[in-house]
Each structure stands twice: as C-alpha cells, then as structure tokens.
Chain A
C-alpha cells in the first residue's frame, strides 16, 4: 500500500488519467458517471499536500561516519559503534594482508569485512575513505556522542632466534653464518676464520659472536652459558615470518644448524583518522489525520492512482487502505460501433486497460433493453451473460442465429456494478 507521500505524488497523474478517461467517454457511455472525478482528486490533493508540506514531515536520513585510512602502517583494525538501539557493537575486525599495498586497497579490504556485519550498517570505501552508514531507525541520535571508534589488538614483537653451538675445527677454517631470511632469501650474514688464538671453545665462540654482530642485516648474536653456544636473533620486523627458517654455521665439511622459532609479529592499529557520524535526520511521520485523509484520496484516485503508481514505480508503504464508500456509477448506452460493447461484439474486458473502466472486484447487474439478464442459460433462445469479477471479462451469451447474443445496433445496455 502506498505511503502518504506516494499517494500525493500519484494524485496529479491520477487526476490527469481520470480527465483523459472522461474526455474519451470510456467510462460513461451516454450517461456520465462522475465527470467531476478529476477535479475531486486534484482539489483533495491540493488540500492534503498543503498541510503535508507545512507539517514538518520529513523522512529519515541515515547518518554516516568515516574512517580515513592514512597509510598502510599498522596491522589491524576493529570498528566499534555505540548504537542507540543495539548498544556497543563491533562491525568487524580486519588484519592487513600481503596484498594491501596501498591505503586505498587496504580501505577497500577493511570495508568488505565490516560490511558483513550483523547490524545492517552499510560499509563501503572509495579513495581510501571507509564510509559507514547507520541503519534505519537511528536518525539524528547517531549525530551525537562520538559513537564511532576503532581499536586494535596491540602486540609487541618477539624476535625469533636460533641456537647454535659450533666447535673449533682448525686454524684457518672459514665459518659462514647463514640464515634463510624471508625477505632476502638465503643470506650469509657473516664469516669467521678460526684464529690461532682460539685456544679454547669459549674464546672461539666469543670471537665468532663478535664477528656475527658486525653484520649489516640487523641480526644480533648473544652468548649462551659462558660462550659455550650462542643465539642469533632475527632482524627486527620479521616477527613470526622467519619461524621455521634455518639458521646455520657452515664450514668446509660440516655445519651446525637450527630453525628460527619463537618469533611473534607485532600488531598495531592501522593508521587512520575518524570522522564521527553526522547527517542523520530523525523521521517525523505523518499524523493520523493526514494518513486518514491520504487514504481517502487514494480511494478517490481509484484505478487511476494505481496506474499512476505503476508509472512512478510506487511499491510498498505503511498506509492501510480504507473500504471504498461507493460503487462506480452504472454504465448505460445504446449500442453503436463506438460504444463500450460495439455492434456485433459479444465480449469486453472491463479491467481498466484500453480505456475501459476497471470493474474488477464488483458484482455486475446487466440490463439488456431494460430487462435484467441472468448468468444461467434460460433456454429457448433467451439471452444471458457471464461476468468474471476477477478478470473483468464480460460476455454476452444465448440468443438466436446469426447474432447469438452479440450486441445489436441501437440496443439499450446498462451495466450496473455493485459491491
């Protein structure tokens, strides 16, 4: 059923359609039914529209909040809303992926995740700006109270490490310290040549630690138990990505290896700027009196309002219909080649199409030459008719050859619709 606004939008068109139908004489035959209908529709519309426009009636506008992604810095983001109806809710959480190489791509990825929220918030992104539109029913209440916020799971980085304990071989032996770096690949970060002065394992390990700590890749070497072994810590920033990769000390004819482990990637809030919800407008609905009068107008518009609604694409709404107070007037005419049922015709569809009146839903009493016609065959060549009030198909039946009930010129026909 149409809303008040829709009824008002359709009314001028309905009045025009009614006027056209009147001019075509389709509805009236020789006897006008209501040749003032278009004026009644239009005048009723003018009154209601004036009151409607001055009543401060407004539809709801949904508020919109923004999250602008400034850069790809940070790893995750969770959007939170203090919803006036739902309370504190999360629209979803997103963790940055390898493919999020620009702020714009990252914003699009976040928006796709947030848009899958269970609270009917619409989330989209364009040019690095995530737009969050509140659902219906919140109106202007979204505009106050800093309702949009973001948070993140913040975790400090733990550097992965390998545990190595090479032993001396012989003076002059070259030891290579090699790691499988997730960024650089297999990389020799340092070399150490065993010295004649490496008279003990502790001295040898100590010298190797010193050599490793001169590397340019950010790996750090730390002694273990008085230089009996050492740890090599991965470069800051690699986090968990290096876990499982090998770290080794190799020499001609041997190696000492371990896999990096214990690395934890740091997590932080994705670099963003918030813009709180704004632009929400709370609906001011029509008063009961306006709805009642609009329904009256809708009934007045009748099939022309429905047809106007079709033109305007009007569907749905909240106004309940009221029962029509009147049946259409009778249609009465003498049969000619131009009447609703022309000479020689035995059927017409009264469904509002092709300029016919829409009598669907009504019962129909048909008078032929002032005599009421039944819908059962009286036999003996008597005429009768058939009326389908669902489809609007009206059929003349019975009679003698050659007409068999078809309309004969100058016959008096009266179609009398009633509820």
Chain B
C-alpha cells in the first residue's frame, strides 16, 4: 500500500516557540528522511536559528521532531513536509498551520488579572477590547484551518500583536 502522507503540529504551552511535528502517515514505502518547509505569510522560510538551509531535516527514524522557532510570536504559515528515499522525493504534503498559543496565554493572563482585580472589568473598553482580541484570534484560526488563508490569518494575528504591545491603553 503506498504511503498516505499526514503530519500534525503541536505547540508547547510552556515554551510557545517550541513546535512538535509528528508523522502520522499510513501505508508503507522505502523512506530515509524528511524535510520541513515553513513558509510564512511574508513569503519567507522560517527555520531555527543556525539552520543554513530553507528547510529543517527530519530523520525518518524519528516519529516526531521538536523545532524551536527563532521568534516567539503567533504565526500562520504554510507547512510542507516532504518524504525522501535518499535524494528522491517520494511524496509531500502542505498544510496551513497556525500557532497562536502566545495570544491565548495573553488573554488568559488578562483573565487572571480579572480574578484578582475584578473591578478592572468596569473600565469602559475592557470587555470590548477583549472581544476584539478574541474575535481576531477566532477569525485567524478559522482562516487558517477552514480556508488555508494564511495572509488574512496573519493580518488578524498582527492586529492582536498591536493590541498586546499597547495593552496598557486597551485593558
């Protein structure tokens, strides 16, 4: 049975710059290695610091691999994994993937503030700004997962980055 490529990506909640790629392919083929390409919405390949290629080498003997992104920010990217037998490309799969736990953790931080300072929610713009922030996040995830539109998704995430960097004016 030929290989049916599949992979998943998870983000560490402890260190949000850390991603774990897992190969969940089915079928069989003679394979020796894999490559991971992470293409962001600006058209640049994202690789860990010190990597000189535009891809990340993922040995076939490892069912999963941990990748540390150079910058810890929320991103929506097109991720391509290629499966190789030697230098021969056997198959590949591209998926739009978003890692945005940084922003969810920011929202969770706001919530923790609410629990200790409940009257903060009486600020006129507190809830509306929170909802704007969440709306951006949900729209971003929807654009990535449902439409593979990493550009719209990244736009929403960038809006939230602005809100986060100016949080003293918003919350």
Contact = CB atoms under 8 A, between A and B. Distances in A.
A50 B112 contact: no
Contacts of A54: 11, 13, 101, 104
Interface string B12-47: 010000000000000000000000000000000000
B13 A46 contact: no
Contacts of A46: 134, 138
Interface in B101-123: 101, 104-105, 107-108, 110-112, 114-115, 118-119
B107 A47 contact: yes
B130 interface: yes
The B contact surface, by secondary structure, is helix
A47 B108 CA distance: 6
B72 to A, nearest CB: 15
The A contact surface, by secondary structure, is helix
Contacts of B104: 47, 50-51, 54
B127 A44 contact: no
Q: Of residues A46, A47, A48, A326, which shows the largest number of chain B Cβ atoms within 10 Å of its Cβ? A: A47
Interface string A37-60: 001100110111011001110000
Interface residues of A, number: 21
Interface string A235-260: 00000000000000000000000000
B111 A296 contact: yes
A178 to B, nearest CB: 75
A46 B138 CA distance: 10
A40 B121 CA distance: 10
Contacts of B115: 292-293, 295-296, 322
A120 to B, nearest CB: 34
A220 B138 CA distance: 89
A296 B113 CA distance: 11
B112 A51 contact: no
A335 B13 CA distance: 54
Contact of B119 (A292, A322, A325): A325
B112 A289 contact: yes
A295 B116 CA distance: 12
A56 B13 CA distance: 9
A325 B118 CA distance: 7
A55 B13 contact: yes
B109 to A, nearest CB: 9
Contacts of B112: 289, 292-293
A251 B13 CA distance: 96
A171 interface: no
B108 A293 contact: yes
A153 interface: no
A151 to B, nearest CB: 41
A36 interface: yes
Contacts of A50: 101, 104, 108
Contacts of B127: 36, 39-40, 43
A94 B128 CA distance: 68
Contacts of A293: 108, 111-112, 115
A289 B119 CA distance: 19
Contact of B111 (A47, A325, A326): A47
A164 B47 CA distance: 99
Interface string B74-113: 0000000000000000000000000001001101101110
Contacts of B118: 296, 325-326
Interface of B: 11, 13, 101, 104-105, 107-108, 110-112, 114-115, 118-119, 127, 130-131, 134, 138
30 contacts: A36-B127, A39-B127, A39-B131, A43-B127, A43-B131, A44-B111, A46-B134, A47-B108, A47-B110, A47-B134, A48-B108, A48-B111, A50-B101, A50-B104, A50-B108, A51-B13, A51-B104, A51-B105, A54-B11, A54-B13, A54-B104, A56-B13, A289-B112, A293-B111, A293-B115, A296-B114, A296-B115, A322-B115, A325-B119, A326-B118
Given A46-B138, A293-B112, 13 more contacts: A39-B127, A39-B131, A43-B131, A47-B110, A51-B13, A51-B105, A54-B104, A55-B13, A292-B112, A293-B108, A293-B111, A296-B111, A325-B119
